[in-house]
Amino acid sequence: MTDAGSSAPDDTTIDDTFEAASTAPEEVREVLDAQREQLSEQLHDLGVEGETGIVDDNFADTAQVSAEQGEAQALAAQLRDQLDDVEHALTRLDEGTYGTCEVCGEPIGDARLEVMPATRFCIEHAG
């Protein structure tokens, strides 16, 4: 009914094991650590970690395997990008530069950081 403004999104694309909470450094670190762990697990589950590719190539029909492998690798590439951002954000947390845009150096809004804790850019320079 009154959805104008929508200041507190509680149903975002972020996995709901993560609390959308404050941007206190310790809490940000926890959130980022949790994301890093989850992304690593997802990558591991895909079985495309490293460049070794699929482990058991006698297991299934080759065409099907390569299709699935292609999908898995596309997904893995996305996950690696996210993981890269998360690790980068953790580094910036250590350096004390977390929460600023890498293009303009301006602070990224708290609301944006809550939704995307690993973002490197302000809303203006995103994408």
Residues found near Zn ion in the complex (CB under 5 A): 101, 103-104, 122, 124-125
Q: Which residues contact 26 (CB under 8 A, 6 or more apart)?
A: none
Q: Whose Cβ is closer to Zn ion: residue 84's or residue 124's?
A: 124
State both tokens at 9.
Answer: 């999104």
Q: Which is nearer to Zn ion, 86 or 101 (CB)?
A: 101
Tell me the closest approach of the beta carbon of residue 112 to Zn ion, in angstroms.
11
Largest CA distance in the chain: 57
State which residue, 92 or 125, has the beta carbon closest to Zn ion: 125
The minimum distance between CB 87 and Zn ion, in angstroms, equals: 21
Smallest separation, CB 23 to Zn ion (Å): 17
Neighbours of 44 (CB within 10 A): 11
Tell whether the torsion through CA atoms of 80, 83, 89 and 95 is positive or negative: negative
